[in-house]
């Protein structure tokens, strides 16, 4: 790391103390951001940290929907995101108008929305879920209830295969990074690293095929959220892992399990939105208290119900 970056990091740490701020970072953030954060985690872990903090200022190093979730859980605190343009292709895959039309066609259905949605879409959902609890959330809903699951179809197919629910309708949305990870990539990586275990994110285009292959014992692997991957890799007796998700996860994996080897299924699996947060932008964010995340009050109130139902589970 060059001297200039080190100095900027020192300033960030000073300002963080002075302003009594909490820096949260997602597992896909660049290594320098993860290393300066107070907590690094997956969508669920970050929501939980945001909910329990007593700090007056939260700086969210992740994408906008995550910072909005932190604001919804902390309406009285100041929530900042260093770059408000840090979006998410999954969030873009459904609008609130599309969701309302879909609900009209299924008036009795329970709506389960993935956390990767905009605040106004969340406000129309009965439950919010993340990659680590989507199966549990769906299982908590009475079996005779129709479910609208949105917006990630690969996570939806995986949840459907796991829960064997026939009345689960799935929105055809996808994350461009994970959709591009196909079963052929998994097979090739597995051939190259025959002793490795696979760690697969449920948003991957191959997640349900992987589920059948692992159930058959054809490959050894687990379908997990990003933090689930870290916990699993630490405790597994395996010493090598092939990782099917955004490559930012390699940093916390290698940090938390330094004695093990991790290989990405696809080196190009990079979320350009997650990489928009830099040390420069984080420093400016703390100095100038920009960019403040705000969500209209009525939307916050409605969106909070589904998030809190999830956290209560
Ligand atoms: P996790 O909640 O598993 O970290 O996933 C978030 C995400 O955006 C995956 O692309
Ligand atoms: Fe969204 Fe995909 Fe990036 Fe995750 S990896 S933040 S789902 S675009």
Give ligand 2 pocket residues (Cβ under 6 A). Answer: 63, 88-90, 116, 175, 177-178, 246, 271, 273-274
Task: Look at ligand 2, atom 7, and give the residue with the nearest C-alpha.
Answer: 175
Same domain? For 111 and 127 the reply is: yes
Task: Look at ligand 2, atom 8, and give the residue with the nearest C-alpha.
Answer: 88
Domain that holds residue 14: 3-87+274-295
For residue 148, being part of any structural domain is answered with yes
For residue 168, being part of any structural domain is answered with yes
The pLDDT tens digits for 36-67 are 999 999 999 999 999 999 999 999 999 999 99
The pLDDT tens digits for 121-165 are 999 999 999 999 999 999 999 999 999 999 999 999 999 999 999
CATH number of the domain to which 204 belongs: 3.40.50.10800
Using 50, 70 and 90 to split pLDDT, how confident is the model at 206? Answer: confident
Q: Are 293 and 68 in contact (CB under 8 A)?
A: yes
Lowest-pLDDT range, 114-118, 167-171, 214-218? 214-218
Measure the CA–CA gap between 190 and 195, rounded to whole angstroms.
8
pLDDT at 209 exceeding the cut of 90: no
pLDDT of residue 279: 98
Same domain? For 99 and 38 the reply is: no
For residue 8, being part of any structural domain is answered with yes
In the chain, at which residue ranges do the beta strands (DSSP E only) sit?
21-26, 39-41, 57-61, 78-80, 110-114, 127-129, 147-150, 168-170, 197-200, 221-223, 240-244, 261-264
Closest ligand 2 atom to Cα of 63: 6
For residue 300, being part of any structural domain is answered with no
Task: Look at ligand 2, atom 2, and give the residue with the nearest C-alpha.
Answer: 175
Measure the CA–CA gap between 120 and 192, rounded to whole angstroms.
44
The closest of 210, 202, 150, 148 to 179, measured between CA atoms, is 202
Measure the CA–CA gap between 90 and 152, rounded to whole angstroms.
7
Task: Look at ligand 2, atom 1, and give the residue with the nearest C-alpha.
Answer: 88
pLDDT of residue 104: 98
Cα(155) to ligand 1 centroid in Å equals 11
Same domain? For 169 and 181 the reply is: no
Give the residue-averaged pLDDT of 227-238: 98
Same domain? For 76 and 9 the reply is: yes
Same domain? For 135 and 165 the reply is: yes
**Is the distance from the beta carbon of residue 27 to the nearest atom of ligand 1 less than 6 Å?**
yes
**The total number of structural domains that make up the chain:** 3
For residue 313, being part of any structural domain is answered with no
Closest ligand 1 atom to Cα of 88: 8
């Amino acid at each position: 790391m060059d001297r200039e970056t080190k100095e900027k990091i020192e300033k960030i740490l000073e300002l963080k103390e002075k302003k009594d701020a909490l820096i949260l970072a997602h597992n896909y953030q660049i290594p320098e951001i993860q290393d300066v954060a107070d907590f690094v985690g997956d969508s669920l872990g970050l929501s939980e940290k945001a909910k329990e903090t007593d700090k007056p200022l939260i700086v969210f190093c992740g994408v906008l929907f995550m910072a909005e979730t932190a604001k919804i859980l902390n309406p009285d605190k100041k929530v900042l995101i260093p770059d408000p343009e840090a979006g998410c292709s999954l969030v873009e895959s459904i609008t609130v108008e599309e969701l309302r039309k879909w609900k009209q066609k299924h008036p009795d259905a329970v709506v389960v929305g993935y956390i990767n949605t905009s605040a106004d879409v969340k406000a129309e959902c009965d439950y919010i879920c993340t990659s680590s609890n989507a199966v549990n959330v769906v299982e908590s809903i009475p079996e005779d209830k129709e479910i609208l699951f949105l917006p990630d179809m690969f996570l939806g197919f995986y949840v459907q295969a796991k829960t064997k629910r026939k009345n689960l309708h799935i929105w055809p949305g996808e994350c461009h990074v994970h959709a591009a990870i196909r079963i052929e990539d998994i097979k090739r990586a597995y051939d190259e690293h025959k002793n490795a275990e696979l760690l697969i994110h449920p948003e991957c285009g191959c997640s349900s095929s992987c589920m059948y292959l692992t159930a058959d014992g054809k490959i050894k692997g687990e379908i997990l959220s990003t933090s689930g991957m870290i916990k699993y890799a630490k405790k597994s007796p395996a010493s090598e892992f092939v990782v099917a998700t955004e490559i930012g996860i390699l940093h916390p994996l290698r940090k938390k399990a330094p004695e093990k080897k991790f290989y990405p299924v696809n080196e190009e699996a990079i979320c350009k939105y997650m990489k928009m947060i830099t040390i420069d932008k984080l420093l400016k964010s703390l100095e100038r208290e920009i960019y403040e995340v705000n969500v209209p009050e009525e939307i916050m109130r409605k969106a909070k119900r589904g998030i809190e139902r999830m956290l209560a589970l």
